[in-house]
């Protein structure tokens, strides 16, 4: 069995207000090209196909076209799960028909226990789920968190192991021991308290989604694919791509890089320098830019002037910015997670820190808000 | 060819705030039972599967389950189009896969010109479309309305006629000459200026959706199926059901009535009478009720008292209500369509009535709002 492992497409996501649909269409086309070139037997998508539970019509159109092209036109089998950003119910639309053409899309916990066998490999497609789903499935009211649920879920999956096959798990969670980079400090917003890596040992391979950095985890048999595009400035140094996975005699992993339509660049210099034709004529002005200005003076209409030359400016910072106390307070605030902010607010009002139970409520509520709500940097 | 013709399911619709999902699940199950009993070759759904462009998760779940049960479990072919309440793009999710199991769901104008042939019959599935879709399809900027577009659309469909087959059109528009009842006075909100009935003459049968009354149109070869449930108090006297259509030697039409889970009843009497056990024990209190009270006195906490006995009270009116001028003004206002109200508001502000062009803008805007927005009585 030879397949591509990708995840976290986040179709419909906006980056600092810029619509990424064109970039996303471009990058998925590339994934399809790689799949054809490498003659893979399947493509695995480990969750977060959409960026939100109610995606825009344009997002729906793009994903519908894309998966039809992969599965129906190119005839490539697809194995996919819903992630924490997807609405499992909405994403499931069409799934019973998809299965007829080897497009297996699992959105419910109970589906994880029916392996999809392809060639020499059994795929267990474990979608993102909430603790309540596990409580109901196992009729066990003591399950209060993913951490509680996961050992029981994995144990039940292992009971389906048939030694004839290699065993691949596809899932969308935080695995303890994964390195969270800048962009993922807010991952806890997802309320994903994680899988213990030890639970994954008996799988031939674990194809993970959720974290956007392919290097977030380094177990011999488990990887995050990372997102196919840079979805935050903090991801600007990351290599984006897909894993080519082989489960023949032994596990073979190869990372294939993707070429985005527009790169993300952080540049340092003076305002004047950036507006000089000699500078910008050597740059691909269609890229996404973050500028670090060396100027100290006030520049009127700065953003508009920059955007006339560089249409997609994500951010402008000051190298020598004499931050006043207000600015530095704002900066500190921005570094905090929504959960930290809520807890601090609670403490300042009630004059007592929240209890563990109250913390859990805060976490669950914010998690739910992020899931239903607007843009956020949570993975 | 022998098929059921239904339309206007409006899955997810609420009636005066009451969730209808249970009633809808019940009535669709009945349609499936009839389809099996009558051994039909297909079920035709002429648009408005959903009540709004972004249906609730519960609505999505119900429709997904329902169509899977009809098409995959029972193996009954389905022919469906999107209506003005559906988002064509969202509804199209899965459609290319559906077609593999004889579930043909057309959501784009261009799909109307590729007939689906089943048995002796060619089905032309013409979804609801906007004038702009026709302008683009025919590359004709003179098309400003459905009225302009329809002759060209029908002409192009007729070019696909193969005399070997009976020709059935499935569509979702207002056909001129249809009788609009109380509940459909607001139909113009849909901006549907209609098809001339003469255009339909060459079809063996035209299966229409949009108007909720099966008797709205009486052409020998064209029918509205009406909605399967009463979706407004003004529909309380209507018989709801599906058409059983045969296109063998000659066209054969039979209306089969449906039994709702809860009836809609308008009752007249005193407040005391309705709260007397002798009265309500003879009624099915689970029904939807509209009460016309004969009382003249003020009744404190009236609605709550009634709802303790009758959980689903849609409306309470007064037979002898001495309407004060404010009440009668409100009543008059409520009888007006959103378009009329907007035009009157315009006139009162600008002191001049809106021009024809402005009227069109008002109509388009309100139409768009209703399509995207909340509850409305528009069909």
Distance of CA B104 to the CA centre of its chain: 20
Q: How confident is the model at residue A290 (pLDDT cuts 50, 70, 90)?
A: very high
Q: Answer whether A97 sits within 8 Å of B92, measured CB to CB.
A: no
| DSSP single-letter state for residue B41 | S
What class has domain A2-257? alpha beta
Mean pLDDT over the full length of chain B? 90
CA distance B149 to B173: 12
Contacts with A21 from chain B: Cβ below 8 Å = none
Chain A hits for B61, CB-CB cut-off 8 Å, are 89
Structural contact between residues B97 and A100, judged by C-beta atoms closer than 8 angstroms: yes
Residues 6+ apart with CB under 8 A from B87: A57, B50, B53, B54
> Which residue in chain A is spatially nearest to B93 when comparing CA positions?
A64
Q: What's the CA angle centered on A61, arms A56 and B110, to 5 degrees?
A: 130
Say if the Cβ atoms of B100 and A103 lie within 8 Å: no
* A contact test, residue of B58, B93, B371 with most A CBs within 10 A: B93
Smallest CA–CA distance, residue B131 to chain A, in Å, is 19
User: Which chain B residues have a beta carbon less than 8 Å from that of A68?
Assistant: 96-97
Give the per-residue pLDDT at A7.
Answer: 98
CA dist list (Å): A141 to A128, A138, A148, A356: 19, 8, 11, 19
The reply to whether residue B60 touches residue A93, judged by beta carbons under 8 angstroms, is yes
Smallest CA–CA separation between B277 and chain A, in Å? 41
Q: List all residues 6 or more positions away from B196 whose beta carbon is below 8 Å from its beta carbon.
A: B147, B150, B151, B175, B176
Query: Which whole number is the average pLDDT over B263-269?
Result: 95
How are beta strands B116-118 and B121-126 bridged, if at all?
antiparallel
Which chain B residues contact residue A54 at CB under 8 A?
54
* Residue partners of A297: CB distance under 8 A and separation at least 6: none
The model's pTM is 0.84
Contacts of B5 (CB under 8 A, 6+ apart): B44, B46, B207, B223, B225, B242, B243, B244, B245
**What's residue B51's pLDDT?**
96
In degrees and rounded to multiples of 5, residue B359 shows phi and psi of: -60, -40
CB pairs under 8 A between A and B: 53
Closest to A122 in 3D by CA, of A169, A171, A154: A169
**Scanning every residue of chain A, which has its alpha carbon at the shortest distance from the alpha carbon of B61?**
A89
Q: What is the pLDDT of residues B18-39, one digit of tens each?
A: 999 999 999 999 999 999 999 9
The 3-class secondary structure across A140-206, one letter per residue, is CCCCCCHHHHHHHHHHHHHHCCCCCCEEEEEEECCECCCCCCHHHHHHHHHCCCCECHHHHCCCCEE
Angstrom distance (rounded) from CA A65 to CA B110: 17
Q: What confidence score (pLDDT) does residue A189 get?
A: 38
- Cα of B351 to nearest chain A Cα, Å: 40
Say whether B60 and A97 touch across the interface (CB within 8 A): no
pLDDT at A323 over 70: no
- Does the distance separating the beta carbons of B64 and A97 come in below 8 Å? no
ipTM summary value: 0.82
CA distance A370 to chain B (A): 17
Q: Do A96 and B72 touch (CB under 8 A)?
A: yes
CB A226 within 8 A of CB A4: no
Strand A116-118, strand A121-126: pairing: antiparallel
| CB within 8 Å of B8: residues ≥ 6 apart | B46, B47, B48, B83, B209, B210, B212, B225, B226, B227, B228, B231, B379
For chain B, the residues whose C-beta falls within 8 A of a C-beta of chain A are: 54, 57, 60-61, 64, 68, 72, 87, 89-90, 92-98, 100-101, 103
Do the chains contact at A57 and B96, CB–CB below 8 Å? no
With the C-alpha atoms ordered B236, B237, B242, B243, is the resulting torsion angle positive or negative?
A: negative
B371 torsion bin: left (phi>0), alpha (psi -120 to 50), beta (else): alpha
Average pLDDT, chain A: 90
Burial of A298 (0-12, 13-18, 19+ CB in 10 A): exposed
Say how far apart CA A98 and CA A105 lie, in whole Å: 8
CB contacts of A96 in chain B (<8 Å) are 68, 72
Which of A94, A101, A371 to mutate to test binding with chain B, by most B CBs within 10 Å of its CB?
Answer: A94
CA distances from A279 to A285, A315, B40 (A): 10, 18, 71
Helices (H), chain B: 21-37, 57-68, 88-91, 95-98, 131-138, 146-159, 271-274, 277-280, 302-309, 325-335, 338-350, 356-372
User: A252, A150, A157: which is closest to A203 by C-alpha?
Assistant: A157
What are A's interface residues with B at a Cβ cutoff of 8 A? 54, 57, 60-61, 64, 68, 72, 87, 89-90, 92-98, 100-101, 103
Mean pLDDT for B187-212 is 79
- All residues at 6 or more sequence positions from B262 whose CB lies less than 8 Å from its CB, including other chains: B23, B284, B286, B287, B288, B312
B310 pLDDT tier (thresholds 50, 70, 90): very high
Closest CA of chain A from B274, distance in Å: 42
Q: How far apart are CA A242 and CA A254, in angstroms?
A: 8
Q: Is residue A324 very low, low, confident or very high in pLDDT (cuts 50, 70, 90)?
A: low
Chain B closest CA to A371's CA: distance in Å? 14
Q: Considering CB atoms only, which of B54, B87, B94 is closest to A93?
A: B94
* Statement: residue A214 has pLDDT above 50: yes
pLDDT at residue A374 in the model: 45
For residue B182, what are the contacts with CB-CB under 8 A and spacing of at least 6?
B234
Highest average pLDDT, of A367-371, B77-81, B233-237, comes from: B77-81
């Amino acid at each position: 069995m030879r397949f591509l492992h990708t995840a976290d497409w986040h179709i419909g996501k906006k980056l600092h207000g810029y619509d990424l649909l064109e970039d996303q269409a471009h990058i998925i086309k590339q994934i399809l090209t790689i799949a054809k070139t490498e003659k893979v037997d399947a493509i695995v998508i480990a969750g977060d196909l959409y960026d939100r539970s109610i995606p825009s019509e344009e997002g729906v159109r793009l994903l519908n076209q894309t998966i039809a092209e992969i599965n129906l036109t190119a005839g490539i089998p697809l194995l996919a799960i819903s992630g924490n950003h997807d609405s499992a119910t909405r994403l499931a639309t069409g799934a019973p028909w998809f299965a007829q053409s080897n497009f297996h899309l699992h959105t419910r916990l109970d589906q994880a226990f029916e392996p999809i066998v392809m060639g020499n490999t059994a795929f267990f497609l474990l979608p993102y789920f909430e603790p309540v789903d596990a409580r109901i499935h196992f009729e066990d009211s003591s399950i209060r968190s993913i951490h509680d649920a996961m050992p029981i879920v994995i144990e039940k999956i292992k009971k389906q192991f048939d030694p004839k096959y290699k065993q691949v798990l596809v899932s969308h969670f935080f695995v303890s021991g994964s390195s969270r980079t800048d962009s993922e400090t807010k991952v806890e917003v997802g309320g994903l308290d994680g899988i213990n890596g030890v639970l994954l040992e008996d799988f031939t391979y674990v194809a993970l989604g959720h974290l956007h950095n392919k290097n977030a985890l380094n177990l011999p048999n488990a990887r995050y694919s990372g997102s196919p595009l840079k979805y935050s400035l903090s991801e600007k140094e990351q290599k984006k791509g897909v894993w080519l996975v082989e489960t023949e005699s032994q596990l073979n992993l190869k990372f294939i890089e993707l070429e985005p339509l527009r790169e993300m660049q952080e540049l340092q210099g003076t305002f004047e320098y950036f507006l000089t034709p000699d500078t910008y004529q050597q740059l691909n002005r269609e890229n996404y830019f973050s500028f670090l200005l060396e100027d100290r003076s006030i520049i009127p209409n700065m953003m508009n002037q920059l955007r006339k030359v560089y249409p997609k400016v994500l951010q402008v910072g000051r190298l020598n910015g004499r931050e006043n106390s207000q600015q530095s307070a704002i900066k500190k605030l921005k570094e905090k997670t929504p959960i930290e902010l809520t807890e601090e607010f609670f403490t300042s009002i009630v004059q007592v820190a929240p209890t563990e139970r109250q913390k859990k409520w805060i976490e669950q509520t914010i998690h739910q808000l992020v899931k239903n709500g607007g843009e956020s940097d949570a993975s």
